[in-house]
Amino acid sequence: MNSGKRKVVLIGTGMVGMSFAYALVNQGGICNELVLIDVNKKRAEGEAMDLNHGLAFGKSNMKIYAGEYSDCKDADIIVIAAGVAQKEGETRLDLLQRNAEVFRSIITPVVKSGFDGIFLVATNPVDIMTRVTYELSRFGASRVIGTGTSLDTARLRYLLGDYFMVDPKNIHAYVMGEHGDSEFAPLSQMMLATKRITEVLEDKCNGYCVEDMKKIEEQVRTAAYKIIEAKMLPITA
């Protein structure tokens, strides 16, 4: 890693990768150099141009460009969002074999570049792909991080906030387990501000009930499938 600059490399410039990149630019101050790498080099170049053109409205300036695996050498963090897209009706585990092959083609050249930073994995099935990254890179566990259930937790907090009609930031709850069909949200650990949600549910006068919590948990678990289905609908004029 280079202590003189904060450098992030994004591998995979699809929908997930570019959502990350736009957030990185808009938040500002997180890094001062962003490298985009994609199997489609032209796409990475176009996305870099797009991001650069928005820097005039950003919170801080940074160097953004399409690069090669050799650019990973002095990076602080490498974000992996590359992989085969999940299809309608396909589970995250169905992606495993195909994305494992993709990762073999990524991790090897990254490590050969001399990269000595931290991997952040967002490709599904993310828990297993994080393990694949760990095995292929031979990095210590503290240097290979997966996004895990962070997205599911955000969905849970939004839905609970909507249900209780409060700001999701005032909901303290977590989805545990894998980022997938076996995930669960422990009701006993959910808080509405400083009050346990189980206590809120005990008050029969407010109309809230445990069954609704189970429905919300299921909505969180199946949200990705509904989102993918909706986004794959043909665009009509």
Which residues have a catalytic role annotated? 179
Contacts of 145 (CB under 8 A, 6+ apart): 118, 119, 120, 121, 130
- 53 CB-side CA count, 13 A: 6
Pairing between β-strand 195-196 and β-strand 191-192 as defined by DSSP bridges: antiparallel
Cα→Cα distances 227→82, 93, 171, Å: 19, 17, 23
Task: Extract the tokens encoding 177.
Answer: 């387990």
Strand segments, DSSP code E, in 47-204 are 63-66, 77-80, 118-121, 144-146, 171-172, 191-192, 195-196
Contacts of 115 (CB under 8 A, 6+ apart): 72, 73, 75, 78
- Note if the bond before 125 is cis, omega within 30 degrees: yes
Contacts 24+ apart (CB under 8 A), 140-145: 143/117, 143/118, 143/119, 144/118, 144/119, 145/118, 145/119, 145/120, 145/121
